[in-house]
Amino acid sequence: MSHPAAKAVIGFYHRHAEQWDTLRQRYFAEKAWLDRFLSYLAPDSQILDLGCGSGCPIAAYFIDHQHHITGVDSSKPLINLCQQRFPTQRWMVSDMRHLSLNQTYQGILAWDSFFHLVKDDQRAIFDIFKQHAIQGSVLMFTSGTHDGEAINDFLGEPLYHASLSPNEYHSLLNSHGFDVIDMVASDPDCGGRTVWLAQFHQQDN
């Protein structure tokens, strides 16, 4: 991360893990999208949750539906909460930008997470998505609505966000073997999030 505010994101979630966790569990606007995501998965699927936070409410929802989670987050306090709540799942303190697990997953999620990365790092994340996908894997992530950067005040501190343009996200998905199933910009039924749902197909060498 080259932007000073972007570099501060990891530290933000270290300092405010418990407060963020409490706030996060007060709403669950994403259920309809999670149900769509799960509709493409067979029972007992493996899901990679990039930027899993404290595991609640999203990973908890997947676990309740009998799926298996590998949760990755750069905040050790948040991962500690995941481990306390769901000790039979796999939780890792790791930077998603450098992830290489030598494992593939039926579902890959980056919900409210990789939009904290600067734009070049976001572009590189699509290699990470592809590396952990197999034929038919479903990918879902949230983004901004247009190309740009924003710094919002949250819990009394600046919090960095960035986004590529919708056309570039489409291009990156296609070039990495993902077909877009749906994309809704500023979904009013999901807290105004812009949501992408895509599915991986094996590319010819």
Average pLDDT of the residues of the chain: 92
At residue 125, the pLDDT reads 96
* Residue 90, token pair as written in the block: 């796999």
Exposure of 94 in the CB half-sphere (CA atoms within 13 A) = 15
pLDDT of residue 81 exceeding 50, the answer is: yes
Which amino acid, 134? I
Higher pLDDT, 7 or 136: 136
Who contacts 60 (Cβ-Cβ below 8 Å, separation ≥6)? 85, 86
19-76 pLDDT per residue, tens: 878 888 888 899 999 999 999 999 999 999 999 999 999 999 999 999 999 999 999 9
Q: Of 1.10.10.10, 3.40.50.150, 3.40.605.10, 3.30.70.1250, which CATH number belongs to 4-200?
A: 3.40.50.150
**pTM (predicted TM-score):** 0.93
Exposure of 186 in the CB half-sphere (CA atoms within 13 A) = 2
At residue 53, the pLDDT reads 93
At residue 1, the pLDDT reads 43
143-163 pLDDT per residue, tens: 999 999 998 888 888 888 999
Calculate the alpha carbon distances from 119 to 5, 116, 150 in Å: 13, 9, 12
Which residues are paired to 183 by β-bridges?
196
At residue 128, the pLDDT reads 97
Length of the chain: 205
